[in-house]
Structures are given as structure tokens and as C-alpha cells.
């Protein structure tokens, strides 16, 4: 029997606000000592009250609009109670009943639309590190603002699950609401997977694989779950509804023992935070701050760039934004330098925020188009754009310093060609060429290039040679 | 609504409280009284009355996103824990 998988994704996005969601403490704990970004509020000392960060609301509006979601005028917070050392309060402040972000959708590069059910604001939990007989608690991450994005079960393959998560990553980083650093847990994904016989109206029993933090692991975990569940059903067994963990080393998911009663969260309205009631004007004002999004870039570059080049560049918000600034005539070449030079394995260290200006890039295209630079020379100049000492120099100046401007002056080229043809070591080649051995022209071009210290334009040299040897 | 011993045990386990039999007995009595008292409210007709989530009628209370100096430093806060190790809070192994 053929089984159809159905997949839904929950995604937690850490918002890149300066302070935490409920306290005026540094929210960016990257590279900082454990428990160094913790206030008495995060520590849940008696009498401490949360103070809502207005920027998190604005970020949530932008994040929501990035996913074509309706922003709810009215939202408020609830307490979700649970006992665990990662939460000193004993509850998480979340939006269970009235989330700020309503329904919307994310369109994948393949054209598949995945509906977003809702997304809500909440505080993150602390970090636990487990040892043999004890665990250590670092509360730096407590109440970092999160939005949790809940998709509808609209995904039916592991590849689409991966693409959906990747598109969410793009939307959040393009919208500027998250650093999007997956390695450091800025975005974490839970995937719900079930399978049902083809044509069946009912969904199968689902499992939830939690805390995936790479696109590759999302795809692999979903693939594994589909296979595992298919095997179970084919053997006449049942899928157990449970939470599973992913092991990247073994490539397997495993069931996690969890007590049934742990699901009893006893939600109640958060009495310390008044509700949010946004005007349409406020929502519109924040929505207008959304910069160009992946869909805008796809529309803009459609027809100018091959799809695969475009999709690669969409993984680098700063590169695609730069490309949007260069003049139309330069788009293709600049995109090519970005993907084949800058993003090449050996140059990954070059990529930083100090990108070349659109003037520098356009001039580089113009010089290449005029044959003043060979493709190799253009690459050399392009790489120098990222050298802190060359960064501010004009393209022509850099090309001159590198000595890669090609000699196109026909008079000057002829003089060099004549000098080479007069050399004793080229006589045999000339004779061979006249006798019909066309291939030796390569040797002669090489000699001219050498004589010109690489500055001659090889195709021009070849033309001159052909004329002279005719 | 009756509060059984099992209900109370369940609630206690959710909050990771351990309770003696005496405590369970006395607390289930107390809790039963509280619930009965509150249940009297059920006699009221609340048809069409909006739920009250808060009584101050405030909304949109938020602050600017600016870092302020901490009111207490890390060591002061960690001093409040039973045990610390490498600037982290040491707890019995969980999971």
C-alpha cells in the first residue's frame, strides 16, 4: 500500500531585540559568561514584575507580515505552568488564547503554499547542561523573546519540510527580526509527522520530533520517520503518539519517555501584563518597515538570473540586497562573481558586511565588457574589493595596482607581436603554422602574452597574429 | 466539584512537591473548602458578561528596548542558590 505523509512544523525564532522580553537586560548572550545576562526578573525573585519590551511587538508584526499573516489588533499573555529547572518562575509567559499573529502562508520556491495557523510571542527557557549526577543551569536565555510559528499540516514530503524551514529562515533574517544563527539555536524546529494510506480521509497517528536545528537534520528526520512509520504499519503494528528526539550521528529518531501528566499546563491569564490592543495605523506603520523580501527579489530578478543562482543568493540577504542596488546591465556578471568567486570554498573568509559599492561593481563589469580586463583579471580585482586596504579604492585604481589592465591598443599590440615574431625561438612555430598546423598559434599567443607581462588581450593578439602570418 | 486525594497528588507532582499523608489529608480538606466557596459564583448568571482578565483596564503598557544596568550582579544572584558550579546553578540530574 502507498502511504501519504503529512507534516506540520513548529518553529521557534529568537528575536534579535537589544533587551529581553520582560526585563531590561542584554538579550545578546553570544560569547558571554553563563548567568551574566540575568536580572532579578529573569531569576523570578519574589515581587519581581515583567515589563514588556515594545520592540518585540514591533518585531512580531514584521515577522507576521513577512509570512503574509494577519496581525491581530488584540492579543494578550498567559501563563503556561510546568516544573523544570530551566524556568525559575515555574511557568512560561506565552500567548495561548490570543496570539499576536494570525493566519497566513509561506510560499516555497517550488510554488507550494504552506499555511501558517498562527504565531505567538513567548519567553525562551534557560539552558541545561547534563552531567553524570547533576545538571547545570544557565539562565542567560531566560525570556529571550521568541515567536513560535505553527504551520498547518500542508507539507507532504521531507524535501518540502526542509524547504519550508529554510524559507522561514530567509523570511526571518530578511525581515531583520532574528540573527538566524542556527548553530546557536536562534531558530529551532519541531516536526510533526504522520502517514496515512493514499486516498484516506483521516490522518494517521503523529509523532513529534523536537529541537532540530539544521535544514539537513529536518529533512533526514522526516525521511526517517516516514520510513519507520511505514514499516510499522506494513507489519500490522501501530504508530505511538509520542515525542521523539533526533540523533544526528546515527540518523535515527528515538522515543523520549515523557509522563502523560506533564501535558497539564494549567494555563491562566497573565495578570502582570495588560493586554495589547494595536491600532490599524500602528500595524501599518510597522509593516511598512519590512524591507524587500525573497518573493520581491524573485520577481525582480526573474529573467535576469538563472533560478539556481537566485536561490543560492537568497541564502545571503546582504548579497541579494547589494545585487538589487547595481544597475541592470551589471546584474548577471555581479551575481556570477558573488556565487562563483565570493562563495567559493577557498574564499568564504572574505564574506563580511563590508561589501563593495555598486559603483565599484558596475565599473568592474564595464571594464570587463570593454575587454580591459580578462575574466581572470576581473576576478583578481573583485577579490581585492574585500581587502581592507583596497576596499575604498576605485576599481580602475585597483586594476592598475594589480597590473591586470589588458593592452587593447592595437598599435602597441602590433609592436609586441612584431618583436615576438622576430625572435629566433618563434621561427619554427611560424613555419609550422604556415604549413597548416593551426594549433601552434596558441604557443605564439602565449609568447606575446609573456612579452606583454599578461596585459595583452589574448583574442586581439590572436587576430593580429593570424593577419601577420597569413 | 470534589477534590480527591488523587487530584491533590496529581497537582503536587506537577509542581514537584512531595507531601506527607497528613499534609495530603489536611490540604485536600482546605482545597475542597476553597473550591466550594468559589463554586458559589456558578449560581450567578454570567450570560453575555465578558471574562475579566485584569481589573485595571490598562492596555499597551510597554517599555523602550534599552539595556539598563543590572540591579543585582551575577554573584549576588548565584549566592541565593543552594549550590553553584562554574557560575551555573547546580541541580539534581533531571530528565
Q: What is the per-residue pLDDT across A80-124, written as a single tens digit (0 to 9) for each?
A: 999 999 999 999 999 999 999 999 999 999 999 999 999 999 999
pLDDT in tens, A353-370: 789 999 999 999 999 998
- Residue A65, pLDDT score: 98
More confident residue, A431 or A72: A72
Q: Which of A382, A428, A434 is nearest to A404 (CA)?
A: A382
CB A180 within 8 A of CB A169: yes
Query: Given a cut of 80, is residue A340 above it in pLDDT?
Result: yes
Query: Given a cut of 90, is residue A455 above it in pLDDT?
Result: no
Q: How confident is the model at residue A383 (pLDDT cuts 50, 70, 90)?
A: very high
- Residue A61, pLDDT score: 98
CB A199 within 8 A of CB A170: no
Mean pLDDT of B1-27: 87
Mean pLDDT of A228-243: 94
Query: Given a cut of 70, is residue A198 above it in pLDDT?
Result: yes
Residue of B nearest to A275 (CA): B59
- Which of 68-87 (A) contact B at CB < 8 A? 76, 81-85
Mean pLDDT check: name the lowest of A18-22, A91-95, A195-199, A441-445: A441-445
Does A255 contact chain B (CB < 8 Å)? Answer: no
- Residue A271, pLDDT score: 92
Does A7 contact chain B (CB < 8 Å)? Answer: no
- Residue B95, pLDDT score: 60
ipTM entry: 0.90
pLDDT in tens, B35-72: 999 999 889 998 998 888 778 889 999 999 999 987 78
- Residue A262, pLDDT score: 55
CB A164 within 8 A of CB A138: no
Residue of A nearest to B81 (CA): A43
Query: Given a cut of 80, is residue A352 above it in pLDDT?
Result: no
CATH number for the segment(s) B1-44:
1.10.20
Interface list for chain B against chain A, based on CB atoms closer than 8 Å: 10, 13-16, 53-54, 56, 58-68, 70-72, 74, 77-78, 80, 85-95
Non-local (6+) Cβ contacts of A103 within 8 A are A69, A70, A115, A116, A117, A118
- Is the Cβ pair A269, B90 closer than 8 Å? no
Mean pLDDT check: name the lowest of A38-47, A102-111, A277-286, A383-392: A383-392
Non-local (6+) Cβ contacts of A281 within 8 A are none
Domain ranges of chain A: 3-281, 292-402, 410-469
Query: Given a cut of 90, is residue A437 above it in pLDDT?
Result: no
- Residue A431, pLDDT score: 87
If you average pLDDT over every residue of chain A, what do you get? 92
Q: Are strands A91-94 and A243-247 parallel, antiparallel or unpaired?
A: unpaired
- Residue A347, pLDDT score: 82
Query: Given a cut of 90, is residue A394 above it in pLDDT?
Result: yes
Beta pairing partners, A456: A407
Q: Which of A414, A403, A404, A393 is nearest to A460 (CA)?
A: A414
pLDDT in tens, A253-305: 999 866 554 578 999 999 999 999 999 999 999 999 999 999 999 999 988 99
Query: How many Cβ contacts (< 8 angstroms) between chains A and B?
Result: 125
| Measured distance CA(B61)–CA(A466) in Å, rounded | 81
Q: Which of A273, A276, A289 is nearest to A101 (CA)?
A: A276
CATH number for the segment(s) A410-469:
1.10.10.410
Does A240 contact chain B (CB < 8 Å)? Answer: no
- Residue A257, pLDDT score: 67
Non-local (6+) Cβ contacts of A385 within 8 A are A355, A356, A360, A361, A391, A398
Q: Which three cell numbers stand for residue A127?
A: 539552558
What is the distance in angstroms between the CA of the first residue and the CA of the last residue of chain A?
A: 74
Amino acid at each position: 500500500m502507498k502511504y501519504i505523509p503529512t507534516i506540520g512544523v513548529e518553529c521557534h525564532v529568537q528575536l534579535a531585540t537589544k533587551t529581553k522580553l520582560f526585563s531590561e537586560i542584554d538579550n545578546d548572550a553570544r560569547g558571554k559568561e553563563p548567568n551574566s545576562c540575568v536580572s532579578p526578573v529573569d531569576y523570578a525573585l519574589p515581587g519581581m514584575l515583567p515589563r514588556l519590551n515594545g520592540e518585540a511587538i514591533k518585531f512580531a508584526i514584521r515577522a507576521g507580515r513577512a509570512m503574509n499573516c494577519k496581525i491581530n489588533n488584540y492579543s494578550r499573555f498567559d501563563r503556561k505552568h510546568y516544573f523544570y529547572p530551566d524556568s525559575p518562575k515555574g511557568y512560561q509567559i506565552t500567548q495561548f488564547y490570543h496570539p499576536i499573529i494570525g493566519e497566513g502562508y509561506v510560499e516555497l520556491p517550488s510554488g507550494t503554499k504552506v499555511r501558517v495557523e498562527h504565531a505567538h510571542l513567548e519567553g525562551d527557557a534557560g539552558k541545561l547542561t547534563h552531567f553524570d549526577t547533576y545538571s547545570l543551569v544557565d539562565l542567560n536565555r531566560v525570556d529571550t523573546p521568541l515567536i513560535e510559528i505553527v504551520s498547518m499540516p500542508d507539507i507532504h514530503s521531507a524535501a518540502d519540510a526542509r524547504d519550508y524551514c529554510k524559507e522561514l529562515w530567509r523570511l526571518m533574517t530578511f525581515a531583520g527580526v532574528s540573527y538566524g544563527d542556527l548553530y546557536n539555536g536562534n531558530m529551532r524546529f519541531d516536526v510533526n509527522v504522520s502517514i496515512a494510506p493514499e486516498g484516506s480521509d483521516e490522518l494517521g497517528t503523529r509523532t513529534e520530533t523536537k529541537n532540530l536545528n539544521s535544514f539537513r537534520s529536518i529533512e533526514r528526520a522526516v525521511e526517517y520517520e516516514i520510513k519507520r512509520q511505514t514499516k510499522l504499519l506494513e507489519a500490522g503494528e501501530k504508530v505511538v503518539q509520542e515525542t521523539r528526539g533526533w540523533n544526528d550521528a546515527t540518523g535515527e529518531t528515538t522515543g523520549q519517555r515523557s509522563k502523560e501528566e506533564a501535558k497539564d499546563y494549567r494555563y491562566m491569564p497573565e495578570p502582570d501584563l495588560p493586554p495589547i490592543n494595536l491600532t490599524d495605523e500602528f500595524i501599518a506603520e510597522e509593516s511598512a518597515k519590512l524591507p524587500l523580501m525573497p518573493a520581491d527579489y524573485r520577481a525582480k530578478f526573474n529573467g535576469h538570473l538563472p533560478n539556481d543562482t537566485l536561490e543560492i543568493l537568497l541564502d545571503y540577504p546582504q548579497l541579494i540586497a547589494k545585487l538589487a542596488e547595481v544597475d541592470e546591465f551589471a546584474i548577471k556578471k555581479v551575481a556570477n562573481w558573488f556565487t562563483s568567486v565570493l562563495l567559493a570554498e577557498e574564499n568564504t573568509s572574505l564574506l563580511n558586511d563590508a561589501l563593495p559599492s555598486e559603483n565599484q561593481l558596475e565599473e568592474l563589469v564595464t571594464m570587463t565588457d570593454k575587454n580591459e580586463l580578462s575574466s581572470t583579471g576581473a576576478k583578481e580585482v573583485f577579490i581585492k574589493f574585500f581587502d581592507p586596504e583596497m576596499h575604498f579604492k576605485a576599481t580602475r585604481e585597483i586594476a592598475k595596482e594589480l597590473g591586470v589592465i589588458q593592452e587593447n591598443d592595437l598599435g602597441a599590440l602590433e609592436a609586441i607581436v612584431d618583436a615576438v615574431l622576430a625572435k629566433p625561438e618563434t621561427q619554427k612555430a611560424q613555419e609550422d603554422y604556415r604549413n597548416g598546423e593551426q594549433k601552434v598559434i596558441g604557443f605564439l599567443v602565449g609568447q606575446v602574452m609573456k612579452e606583454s607581462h599578461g596585459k595583452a588581450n589574448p583574442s586581439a593578439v590572436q587576430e593580429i597574429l593570424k593577419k601577420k602570418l597569413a | 466539584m470534589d477534590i480527591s486525594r488523587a487530584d491533590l497528588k496529581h497537582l503536587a507532582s506537577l509542581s514537584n512537591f512531595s507531601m506527607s499523608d497528613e499534609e495530603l489529608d489536611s490540604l485536600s480538606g482546605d482545597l475542597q473548602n476553597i473550591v466550594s466557596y468559589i463554586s458559589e459564583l456558578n449560581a450567578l448568571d454570567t450570560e453575555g458578561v465578558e471574562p475579566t482578565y485584569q481589573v485595571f483596564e490598562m492596555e499597551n503598557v510597554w517599555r523602550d528596548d534599552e539595556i539598563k544596568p543590572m540591579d543585582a550582579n551575577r554573584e549576588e544572584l548565584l549566592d541565593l542558590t543552594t549550590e553553584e558550579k562554574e557560575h551555573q546553578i547546580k541541580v539534581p540530574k533531571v530528565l
